[in-house]
Amino acid sequence: MKKLLILLSLLCNTAFALEFQKYPVVLESSRGEQVIIVETLDKSQALIKVVGVNHPIDEVVFLTDLLPHGSIKAYKYIFDGQQRALVTREQGYACCSYALYLPDTRKAIYLSEQKDKRNKAISEDTYAQYQAQLADNIQANFAKFNRDKAIANSLEALDKAQQRFTKQCGGKIETTINWQEIDDSLLQTYAIGAYCGQVANSLAKQCESASEFKSVAQQFSKVECEFTDELKLRHTDSLIHFKTAPKAPNQAQFVEAYLRNL
């Protein structure tokens, strides 16, 4: 977190030293979402404001870096502790194709340039809004990693796995994680709920494919999940102890093979 705050401080100080283009790039979608891009003179960075979206970043101005993004480029910023692409830009014959990606969504919002709306007053207003929001730490708050939200997302994934178990196997099973042992880097990098939910999901899958397996699955009521550097499964009468290693290959097959032999 300390490194992130230092980075944000450097970005803030840099923004005031940058020189921006007089005229903005104004983009709009077919549904009315709008993106304003005010590039620096060397076009390596840009202020970006998204308007008309049902999302907390609506009308927030972010300082972004234009960086490679696969085979194209993207304006990237820090959100929820990670660098993300806000707007992608693909070079075409005439110029560019743009797409907006709102945080925590995978759907692209395709945009087209509105050259008749290029007005230097828009650039001035966008920069002034950026300065005001920066003073209120709005961008910094969006940049911080939201640990509670990440845990809530994992718990939601676990709940879906447990509901699937109940539907296919009958009975109930609970997957528990010692969240104090899960540091922020793990939460940011891996889908904890998906990894730890593998046991409940695999049990449900086998109940669905073989009804006689239900009596085997119903003897278990709890899964204890750990993130380690080794992949292991052990069980007692009602408990399955699952050690998951994110870098271990073929985890789903490993879990299924173990459970088939119960």
71-98 confidence digits (pLDDT tens): 999 999 999 999 999 999 998 777 789 9
Domain C-terminal end among 124, 143, 162: 143
Asked if 45 and 131 sit in the same domain, the reply is yes
Domain C-terminal end among 98, 115, 143: 143
Asked if 155 and 31 sit in the same domain, the reply is no
Please say if the pLDDT value at position 248 is more than 80: yes
Would you say how long the chain is, in residues? 262
Asked if 253 and 151 sit in the same domain, the reply is yes
- pLDDT one-digit tens code per residue, 149-179: 999 999 999 999 999 999 999 989 999 999 9
Asked if 26 and 110 sit in the same domain, the reply is yes
Mean pLDDT for 44-68 is: 97
Asked if 110 and 122 sit in the same domain, the reply is yes
pLDDT at residue 173 in the model: 96
Asked if 9 and 136 sit in the same domain, the reply is yes
Q: How many structural domains is the chain composed of?
A: 2
Which residue range forms the structural domain that includes residue 105?
A: 2-143
Asked if 197 and 241 sit in the same domain, the reply is yes
Asked if 93 and 183 sit in the same domain, the reply is no
Give the chain's mean pLDDT: 91
Asked if 64 and 130 sit in the same domain, the reply is yes
Domain C-terminal end among 111, 143, 175: 143
pLDDT band at residue 16, thresholds of 50, 70 and 90? Answer: low
Asked if 126 and 160 sit in the same domain, the reply is no
| pTM exceeds cut of 0.85 | no
**Cα 17 from Cα 9, distance rounded (Å):** 13
pLDDT at residue 12 in the model: 46
Asked if 9 and 135 sit in the same domain, the reply is yes
Mean pLDDT for 216-231 is: 94
